[in-house]
Structure 1
Amino acid sequence: MFELKKILGAMLMPLPLFALLCFVCLLIALRTKKVSVFIGLIAITSLLLISTPFIGQKIIAPNSQLKYIFDTSKQPILDKIVVLGCDINPNPKLNANSQLGNCAKSRLIEGMRLAYVYPQAQLIVSGGGYNKVTNSSLMQQTAISLGIDAQRIKQNPTAMDTADEARLLAPALVDFKVALVTSASHMARAKDLFNSQGVDVIPAATDFYDYSAWPHHKQYIPSVEVLKAVTSYWHEVIGSTWISVRRWIDPEAL
């Protein structure tokens, strides 16, 4: 069920979804060229448009995510800092930090920043992995190499998604002041999942996307970077929809 959910979720991302539509069009073209050309043009045009900073910026709405910035001046005390897992690239020939993807690095850096601001807070790094390498272990190794005391770090290596992270970490977080570190686009869903487990978290978002400062001539040129941001946004839309469907079927579902 877990693998099927991941496969279906991945196939519904913009790039594979529109690419699949283009492939279907080629098959339809064998019989009804007009229909296939029309659908193909819509799919390709949509893919190109959402990949431009001008359109992508409107979809991801970066200003709406600014509310998730952690303000240290308003939080004099912090007990725990939870850094959620993200992408990894296991390779035993590389240092731990080089095996972390950009998303994971961005989250870890924010978590470490808070760890230095709040020296008494426990740093919890989360996330499973594959090939016997976990996101949490790579984050822990990287944090230690950059000066964080190993005694302050706790791993959560078995969680394979955000729902797992919320469920497994909740018992250790209830009644504590907790900062939740994750990507800005992911924060709303992550916060909801932790809240549903009875954990009141303080958002500490990172990994923001904002293309408003890009030169005017680049605003209308498709970019892989913009498509990546829109894909992240779309991933959250699908994830939130999945949660809503599950809760509609079973109000007690996470």
Structure 2
Amino acid sequence: MPFDTSLLLFWLKKLVALVVLPPLMPLLLVAAGLLLLRRRRRLGLGLAWLGVALQLLLVFPPAVGLLLAPLEAQPVLQPAAARGAQAIVILGAGKRDHAPEFGGETVNRLALERLRYGARLARESGLPVLVSGGAPTGEQPEAVLMRQSLIEDFGVTPRWVEAGSRDTRDNARLSALQLKEAGVHRVLLVTHAAHMPRARAEFAAQGLDVVPAPTAWLGSHESQDHRLALLPSQNTAYAGWYALHEWLGLIAYRLSR
């Protein structure tokens, strides 16, 4: 079996992300600080408190909001902006491996948010749809599951299925090959609002004219009770993780250009 360098790099990126993102990164700082307490007390205390402070900031709604605001600056897609688009591209967001009620694997809740909005745009516009998402570990490609969900749950049949990608850059590169072969150069790009800056940059780098169609803003307040807006929750913890993940992705994108 040939050695797959690209697959090794994919899992290396996943490992690095695991280390530098919460919840592990703040915990590692705390652990390093505690280990240093006997030899270098001031440094150890500083690292430990830094880890605690970072953990608190990444679940504190105002701090998370500051991280998300520049990422989610793209407004809702307006009909005028969509004119001239030739296709809709829906990016995968992961899958649920254990879904016995669906017969095995299925798309996860994040992918469903994108699929729902992409299906709505497809019904309103009549544009053909491309779904993009691979299978890094060799199971059923995510794009195949996305196609199945679009057909069975939303009544939309995609025209193209890009099933070889492992990350956003692959999404753009491999989708562009299929789209350009079909004469498509202007697309509505559907992904989470916080993911849109990175995704748009990757698709534009492939020579496509991208019209952002963001969905699922993480920075908006679902509760109208402003007394709760300052309280951490599982939602702000996830939003903080997502925001930091996207900022790191943007830094990696700029360094690799």
User: Which of the five TM-score ranges fits, normalised by the shorter chain?
Assistant: 0.7 to 0.9
Whether contact under 8 Å (2:72, 2:194) holds in the other structure is yes
CA-to-aligned-CA distance 1:193-233 (integer Å, 9 cap, x gap): 11111111110001211244643332332222112112212
Q: Residues 40, 49 of structure 1: CA spacing in aligned structure 2 closer, same or farther, 3 A cutoff?
A: same
The answer as to 2:151 corresponding to 1:144 is yes
Aligned equivalents of 1:189 and 1:14: distance in 2? 20
Question: Where in structure 2 are the equivalents of 1:97-246 lying within 5 Å?
Answer: 99-119=106-126, 121-129=127-135, 130=137, 132-150=139-157, 152-174=158-180, 175-212=184-221, 214=223, 215-246=225-256
> Could you tell which deviates more after superposition, 92-101 or 47-56?
92-101
TM-score (norm 1): 0.86
Q: Secondary structure at the match of 1:91?
A: strand
Give the counterpart of 2:95 among 69, 88, 102. 88
In structure 2, the CA distance between the partners of 1:192 and 1:91, relative to structure 1 (3 Å rule), is same
Change (3 A) 1:98 1:118: farther
Query: Structure 2 vs 1, CA of residues 96 and 114 (structure 1 numbering), >3 Å: closer, same or farther?
Result: farther
Q: Which 5+ residue runs of structure 1 have no aligned equivalent?
A: 248-254
Shift of 1:97: 11
Contact kept, 8 Å, 2:119 with 2:150, in 1: the verdict is yes
Aligned partner of 1:56 among 50, 61, 64: 64
Distance 1:29 1:199, change over 3 A: same
Identity of aligned residues (%): 27
SS at match of 1:217: helix
Contact 1:128 1:136 in 2 (8 A): yes
C-alpha separation in 1, matches of 2:104 and 2:85:
26
SS at match of 2:96: coil
Q: CA deviation at 1:45?
A: 2.1
Q: Is the 8 A contact 1:70 1:204 kept in 2?
A: yes
Cα distance between partner residues in 1 of 2:115 and 2:222: 26
> Structure 1 residue 177: deviation in Å?
2.8
State the secondary structure of the residue aligned to 1:239: helix
Whether the 8 Å CA contact 1:96–1:141 is kept in 2: the answer is: no
SS of alignment partner, residue 222 of structure 1: coil
Match of 2:67, SS state, is helix
Name which of structure 1's ranges 185-194 and 39-48 shifts more when overlaid on structure 2.
39-48
C-alpha separation in 2, matches of 1:42 and 1:127: 37
Q: Secondary structure at the match of 1:133?
A: coil
Q: 1:70 to 1:56 in 2, by over 3 A?
A: same
Shift of 1:132: 1.3
1:6 to 6, 14, 26: 14
Shift of 1:109: 0.7
Give, in whole Å, the separation in 2 of the partners of 1:213 and 1:207.
Answer: 12
1:186 deviates by 1.0
Whichever residue aligns with residue 154 of structure 1, its letter is: W
Alignment of 1:23-38 (within 5 A): 23-38=31-46
Question: Hey, what's the Cα distance between the residues in 1 that align with 2:174 and 2:103?
Answer: 24
Report the 3-state secondary structure (helix = DSSP H, G, I; strand = E; otherwise coil) of the residue aligned with 2:214: strand
In 1, Cα distance between the equivalents of 2:230 and 2:99?
A: 41
User: What amino acid sits opposite 2:251 in the alignment?
Assistant: T
| Alignment size in residue pairs | 244
TM-score by length of 2: 0.85
Q: Deviations over 1:222-249 (max 9, x none)?
A: 22211211221211211121122222xx
Paired with 2:103 and 2:205, the residues of 1 have a C-alpha distance of 33
For the residues of structure 2 that align with 1:9 and 1:34, how far apart are their CA atoms? 28
**Alignment check: 8 A CA contact 2:190 2:214 kept:** yes
Letter in 1 for 2:152: S
